Amino acid sequence: MKKTVLITGTSTGFGAATAYNFAEKGWNVIATMRDITMGKELSRLNNVLVTRLDVQDRKSIDAAITLAIEHFGKIDVLINNAGYGQFGIFESISREAILNQFEVNVFGVMDVIKAILPHFRSHKGGTIVNISSGAGAIGFPMASVYSASKFALEGLSEGLRYELASVGIKVKLIEPGGAMKTGFGTRMGSEIAALKPAEEYIPFLTRIGKLYGGMEGNSDPDAVEKVVAAIYDAALDNTHQLRYTPTNDIAPILKARRSTSEQAYQSFTDSLFLGE
Ligand code: NAP
């Protein structure tokens, strides 16, 4: 029997590429998005059902899951991909913008997981793949709010992994680096443009801008393909491995974070971000 995957945020980026990848591999795909007019091409594929799901609208979450089960009989894999990056100097970001970041990247994911778990438990199985980020392991300057949301997603996934393993359900985390060749950079740019940081931050912002500009030049050219492949591997992986780090661009800093002492890590990142 064909397997079925439900993916959030398939209008663009990793979500759209992942929907095409699963469809090409013969899966049934429930490609969900906020604005279904973005899914016209995807909906032409036989085994793809495009439907509305806004992670900030619980009724739309329940409706998409119910429709998927009615249409395909069963859901085997859930991919929580929908998300965005609220970047910028923390002090300049409004409370409303911070709440929105958490509603999409954290509470929305929790709502989708809660809505699908009774179905997974009834089948004694299922896999949840959460799209985190290198920023889910490391706090980057200008990314404090985004990192806070992805750290929350990592904590949720890590704890949930034990609970759900006890009932036969797997939890996975994908940690892409700064791939950016999706709609992510555009939305991030518009969120930053709306901010007015205090003048005192300008020298730091200039320094970090140059640093990030240089890093973008070094970013992995095949990053999107690698992320999409890692999502597919994680969905099929029969182990309870939690984390997958598919792109090389963040490998040195992730290694420093996870394999060296706190002191060595801080002196590495202080020289990188503060020039000390
Ligand atoms: P993207 O092209 O901007 O895709 C983000 C998707 O999330 C879009 O389909 C967007 O839909 C959807 N979305 C946003 N708010 C939503 C909501 N309330 N309900 C449902 N869907 C919503 O960016 P991407 O890079 O593919 O991002 C996908 C995931 O990868 C995100 O979780 C992001 O944090 C993570 N990530 C990205 C990078 C990177 O550099 N690209 C690196 C690490 C991690 P709309 O079109 O309706 O806005």
Print pLDDT tens along the chain (276 aa): 899 999 999 999 999 999 999 999 999 999 999 999 999 999 999 999 999 999 999 999 999 999 999 999 999 999 999 999 999 999 999 999 999 999 999 999 999 999 999 999 999 999 999 999 999 999 999 999 999 999 999 999 999 999 999 999 999 999 999 877 899 989 998 899 899 999 999 999 999 988 888 776 667 788 999 999 999 999 999 999 999 999 988 888 888 899 999 999 999 899 989 987
Q: What whole-number distance in Å separates Cα of residue 54 and Cα of residue 157? A: 21
* Contact by Cβ (8 Å): 171, 239: no
Taken in order 91, 188, 256, 14, is the CA torsion positive or negative? positive
Distance 167 CA to ligand 1 centre (A): 30
Distance 35 CA to ligand 1 centre (A): 13
Distance 11 CA to ligand 1 centre (A): 9
What secondary structure letter does DSSP report for 106? Answer: I
Q: What whole-number distance in Å separates Cα of residue 213 and Cα of residue 139? A: 18
Whole-model pTM over 0.95: yes
Q: Which positions ≥6 away from 80 have C-beta within 8 Å?
A: 8, 109, 112, 113, 128, 129, 130, 131
Q: From residue 263, give the alpha-carbon distance in Å to each of 166, 209, 248, 256, 266.
A: 37, 25, 24, 10, 5
Domain extent for 62: 4-273
Q: What whole-number distance in Å separates Cα of residue 80 and Cα of residue 233? A: 15
Per-residue pLDDT, 252: 83
Q: Assign residue 78 the CATH number of its domain.
A: 3.40.50.720
Residue 80 CA, closest ligand 1 atom number: 32
| Structural Rg of the chain based on CA atoms | 19
Of 84, 50, 92, 54, nearest to 68 by C-alpha is 50
Would residue 166 show up in a list of annotated catalytic residues for this protein? Answer: no
Would residue 132 show up in a list of annotated catalytic residues for this protein? Answer: yes
Per-residue pLDDT, 218: 62
Distance 31 CA to ligand 1 centre (A): 14
Report how many domains make up the chain: 1
Residue 146 CA, closest ligand 1 atom number: 34
Per-residue pLDDT, 221: 83
Q: Which positions ≥6 away from 200 have C-beta within 8 Å?
A: none
Sheet holding 4-7, edge to edge: 48-52, 28-33, 4-7, 77-80, 126-131, 169-174, 243-244
Residue 38 CA, closest ligand 1 atom number: 46
Would residue 162 show up in a list of annotated catalytic residues for this protein? Answer: no
Q: What whole-number distance in Å separates Cα of residue 14 and Cα of residue 230? A: 11
* Contact by Cβ (8 Å): 242, 129: no
From 3, 11, 84, 132, active-site residue: 132
